[in-house]
A and B are shown apart, each in its own frame.
Chain A
Amino acid sequence: MIPAGTAVGRSVVRPDLAAKLSGAAVYGADLPVAGVLHVKLLRSVVAHARIAAVDPAAALEVPGVVAVVTAADLVDLDATWGHYVRDRPIFADGVVRFAGEIVAAVAAETEEAAAAAVTTIEVEYDELPALLDVAAAAAPGAARVHDRAPRPGFACPPGTELGMDNAFYHHGLQHERVAEVDEAGAVVVQHEYIFPAVYQYAMEPHVVVASWEPDGISVHSSCQHPFLVRQELATVFGLPLERVRVRVPFVGGGFGSKSYTKMEPVAVAVARAVGRPVRLVNRVEDAMVTTRRHGMRCRMRTAVRPDGRFVSRQAWIWMDTGAYADNGPTVTMVAGMAAVGPYRWDRVDIDAACVYTHLPPSGSYRGFGAAHLQWVGESQVDEVAALLGIDRLELRLRNLLDRGETLIPGQRPLDADLAGDLREVAKRLDWGGALPAWRGRGISVGVSPAGVSARSAARVELRPDGRVMVLVGSQEIGQGARTVHAQIAAEVLGLGMERVVVLPTDTDHTPYDRSTGASRSTTVAGLAVQRASERLRTALLAAAAEHGGVPVDELTLRDGRISTGKRSWDIAELAAAGPIGADGDASELTGAGPALFWEVCVAGAEVSVDPETGLVEVPRVVTVADVGRAVNPSLVERQDEGCTLQVIGNAFFEEMRFSEDGVLLNDSLLDYRVPTLTDVPAEMICVIVENGDGPGPFGAKGCGEGVFGGLTAALVSAVTDAGVPVRELPMSPDRVWRWIQQTTSDTAPG
């Protein structure tokens, strides 16, 4: 533990708490907009079809309806979007590629009129065969979901190869640490694994208020990456960046579901067609077909010498990205990296493929890639440990990389003490102690690339009322980004928290920030806030020196006052004539590839399995928040706890179920179960590790996603330890029961 500063290192109460608890916080759907029209969308009811006809006549008869908008209204535009691959039409254009694809929009004076009208639009579909299974879609000779060559989107890294097959993107990792790798005598495990499609479930589904004005586009959106949304809208609608303005109100959770562009293009397209502001509010059933987490299939092979030394790892991974790429290639890349594991292999050979299917599109969800692959790799480590009779913890410790070693050539070297983290977990789990039958313990270690980009800037201004305004483009999506940024500014400027205000984002005024994701807000945007605050501090001291006629080095700045010996001034006096501001950015952060730092994914769990019902209970989880420096320890713990609950849903019961025709069956929260308070483990231990080794402010590095990789794997490990081998998630009771039947019949005396 590092001693707390005046603001940093303290669990200060979040400044937005009262507004959120009292209902005063304004979310997108609350925004009062004069003359707004309400939009309802008509979505395809079939997974793959040619659209023979769309007849809006009946809808236009409904009183209150102003317009029905379809692809036919956008022929003057290149009306496709997608930041990585520009593959997605705003409205289905002649063909639908998934059940739920947007075919038409109704704009009406009331929500009721829009809802009533949208059901009367008649669409004639000529159905086509749908590819619903990722393996079938990736098979040679499979029909193509897209028949045109993929066009790179504006955020596609230069040089990326996009192919014509459904498996349009591959991330390969091939390296040999040792020449002429010798597998002779090695223990080999190889299996296939399945990961389900799941839904992020942010409490607030997507909301967009959009207007098309003479001087450009104005959008209020519940989004995580407003600056990328601006860029996307500018690209699609052919406007310069400065004529697109994106503002973000309070956001009711994201978890990746609101990353990049989602509902903004269709909202803007309707606003453009009707010439009035429009409001589009997704419902849960809309949100579920807007973005989801990739389902995955994978084959993995691990070879280990009889003495426990790791030799090689191979994996073939197929990520089901649905009908449109969304952030699929990035998810695929991170999945490929997660397949390696932070171990000293002689040889690594991974191929991760991003595959189009006729299912709803998949994108980012907290911990992506690590959530998909860490459990697979770690379960093979466990299996090897069992075959060799070596303790699972011991086998890991023998093969783990040390700080500074290369994990993936060309990427940032390992920047954490993973062995130390793992030992912390083992201690809290009473590792090695006896357990009754059908109880198990699991432990897991991994890392995931985080930070993504150093492109974050901030401006900090002292205003005449004595308060300091922080302008930074991270979105407050519940994680506490604004609280943390206020703490950083307060610490540097020697101010009380009540005098620091972090403003909501308006792309016209807020400095650029790439995105709120990849655990980067504290580390990257936070560094920009720190640097800007430091410059402001320097400026204030210089101004005070001039003001008081004293040398700068005799001045101190504390509690909002600058003092020299007996005299002191409130800093407000310095700003009496107008605000004093300073800028900062995070450009000093460097690192090849996506990892500005490695987010640590270390966790442990204890479970008990009811062998009769297959129900798994989780009496204890241990998570490690290896955060370098905890700017706000309470927020760090809440991140791990919230993620723990999402992991429990993903690992034990969440699963999007599609019909044989590719239609989502469980499209409501009655049928798609998300965890609730009753699913909270009896004991949740969050170990905060502060080694001061992060590249962010005060040695901090990001957190909040690592639990997804770490705990999913630890739960699988624990269930396996309890006697039930796992090759597929979720570990729902009926599956666990079936696996137990299989294991007992396999081992029954024949």
Chain B
Amino acid sequence: MKPRPFTYLAPTSVDEALAALAEHSFDAKVLAGGQSLAPLLNFRMASPEYLIDINDVAGLDRVRRVDGGWHIPALVRQRTVERSPELRAAFPLLPAALEQVAHPQIRNRGTVCGSLAHADPAAELPTVMTALDATMRVASVRGEREVPAEEFFQFHFTTSLEDDELLVGVTVDDLPPATSTGFAEFAPRHGDFALAAVAGVVTRASDGAVGAVRLVASGVAARPQRLTAAEKVLLGQRPTPDVVGAAERAARGEVDPTGDIHASADYRRHLVGVLARRVLTTIAEEGDHA
């Protein structure tokens, strides 16, 4: 099928884009890489009257260093982040997850922010950004605001963005010293959306015990879910196989997935445990050798 007719707008500055969003708000959709939006339009699951193509907006296509972290503006492609030496060094979690997102052709066009704004509960980036405690920079003609990842993702394909707001970029703070990260997912076929995924960020105290931990799962709820029970098991403990095993059981116990045509609920629950253990095991080995 082809999309229903729409009016195409191509602002060249953020202000213009925000003005267009203010004017058309609910009737408009932002077009970034189009890798999710174009299929939605073609299947007529979305039929906006206005399409605001932000690809010509100046100043949104370069990653930049900000105070104590990195800022990824709205037009930075997934592939750019995956291949950036600076970002790979600062956040190994990003390339680890991005390599599992779709296929290179799609990552060449798809933006990081587009995936975040799209908020597919099975997508990798929302989970990873939640684990990294990233901050969304959101703007409208009414002003700018910052939203922590954990508040940004709300429900299936739903974020805290208002109809007139643009996700201008996402900022990720540098990880503290002695921090290790890990990512694992399960997709029956490479490039498919995962049935479940787990991202972990663990900071060790000087005695090797876990000082801080964020463990986040996708594929089990309507939004990325923090595995707080598993985190609690880990806090203050050295991540020995026994502790990791206890965290696995806790993770399995705290999620309540639903079954669908791709996998049963039981199986997804089991997978989250396995993936959490795999992530924590890599993290533990890396930390022990640091």
Contact = CB atoms under 8 A, between A and B. Distances in A.
Are A and B part of the same complex?
yes
Interface of A: 115, 612-615, 652-653, 657, 665-666, 671, 673, 676, 678-679, 732-734, 737-738
Contacts of A733: 186, 188, 195, 263, 267
A657 B188 contact: no
A666 B1 CA distance: 18
Contacts of A657: 261
The 6 A-B pairs at the shortest CB distance, nearest first, are namely: A734-B267, A678-B190, A612-B274, A657-B261, A734-B263, A734-B264
A673 B192 contact: yes
B188 A666 contact: no
Given A612-B274, A737-B267, A732 B188 contact: yes
Contacts of B289: none
A613 B189 contact: no
A733 B41 CA distance: 32
Contact of B191 (A666, A678, A732, A734): A678
A671 B263 CA distance: 12
14 contacts: A115-B1, A613-B274, A614-B267, A615-B186, A666-B261, A671-B262, A673-B189, A676-B189, A678-B189, A733-B186, A733-B263, A733-B267, A734-B264, A737-B267
Contacts of B266: 734, 738
A679 B189 contact: yes
Interface string B1-13: 1000000000000
B271 interface: yes
A738 B267 contact: yes
Contact of A673 (B186, B188, B195, B267): B188
A115 B4 CA distance: 13
Nearest to B43: A668
Interface in B170-224: 186, 188-192, 195
Contacts of B1: 115
B188 A653 contact: yes
A115 B2 CA distance: 11
A78 to B, nearest CB: 36
Interface in B237-281: 261-264, 266-267, 270-271, 274
A613 B186 contact: yes
Contacts of A673: 188-189, 192
Contacts of B186: 613, 615, 733
Nearest to B39: A670
A679 B189 CA distance: 7
Contacts of B271: 613
Nearest to A678: B190
A615 B190 CA distance: 12
Tell me what chain A mostly uses at the interface: helix, strand, loop, or mixed.
loop
A685 B50 CA distance: 54
Tell me what chain B mostly uses at the interface: helix, strand, loop, or mixed.
loop
A482 B284 CA distance: 61
Contacts of A678: 189-191
Contacts of B267: 614, 733-734, 737-738
Nearest to A668: B43
Contacts of B263: 733-734
A665 B261 contact: yes
Nearest to A653: B188
Nearest to A673: B189
B19 to A, nearest CB: 33
Which of B188, B262, B263 is packed against the most chain A CB atoms within 10 Å?
B188
Contacts of A615: 186, 188
B188 A737 contact: no
A588 to B, nearest CB: 48
Contacts of A653: 188-189
B281 to A, nearest CB: 12
B270 A737 contact: yes
Which of B190, B191, B267, B274 is packed against the most chain A CB atoms within 10 Å?
B267
Given A615-B186, A653-B189, A733-B186, 16 more contacts: A115-B1, A613-B271, A652-B188, A653-B188, A657-B261, A665-B261, A671-B261, A673-B192, A678-B189, A733-B188, A733-B267, A734-B264, A734-B266, A734-B267, A738-B266, A738-B267
A229 to B, nearest CB: 29
Which of A115, A657, A673, A733 is packed against the most chain B CB atoms within 10 Å?
A733
A715 to B, nearest CB: 15
B198 to A, nearest CB: 13
A145 to B, nearest CB: 25
Nearest to A613: B186
Interface string B26-68: 0000000000000000000000000000000000000000000
Contacts of A679: 189
A211 B186 CA distance: 51
Nearest to A615: B188
Contacts of B192: 673
A734 B264 CA distance: 7
Contacts of B270: 737
B158 to A, nearest CB: 20
A676 to B, nearest CB: 7
A316 to B, nearest CB: 29
A65 B44 CA distance: 22
Nearest to A679: B189
B243 to A, nearest CB: 19
Which of A612, A653, A666, A673 is packed against the most chain B CB atoms within 10 Å?
A612
A115 B192 CA distance: 30
B102 to A, nearest CB: 12
B188 to A, nearest CB: 6
A176 B190 CA distance: 50
A738 B263 CA distance: 12
B252 to A, nearest CB: 12
A652 B188 CA distance: 9
A117 to B, nearest CB: 15
Nearest to A665: B261
A111 to B, nearest CB: 10
A665 B261 CA distance: 8
Contacts of A115: 1
Contacts of B189: 653, 673, 676, 678-679
A679 B190 CA distance: 8
A92 B81 CA distance: 55
A486 to B, nearest CB: 37
A612 B277 CA distance: 11
B23 to A, nearest CB: 29
Nearest to A672: B261
Nearest to A736: B267
Contacts of A612: 274
A614 B274 CA distance: 11
A410 to B, nearest CB: 44
Contacts of A665: 261
Contacts of B188: 615, 652-653, 673, 732-733
A733 B191 CA distance: 16
Nearest to B1: A115
B128 to A, nearest CB: 20
A412 to B, nearest CB: 41
A733 B268 CA distance: 11
A519 B63 CA distance: 58
Contacts of A613: 186, 271, 274
A392 B43 CA distance: 51
Which of B1, B191, B261, B274 is packed against the most chain A CB atoms within 10 Å?
B261
A404 to B, nearest CB: 45
B117 to A, nearest CB: 20
Nearest to A652: B188
A29 to B, nearest CB: 15
Nearest to B186: A613
A738 B1 CA distance: 39
A679 B192 CA distance: 12
A657 B1 CA distance: 23
Interface string B153-170: 000000000000000000
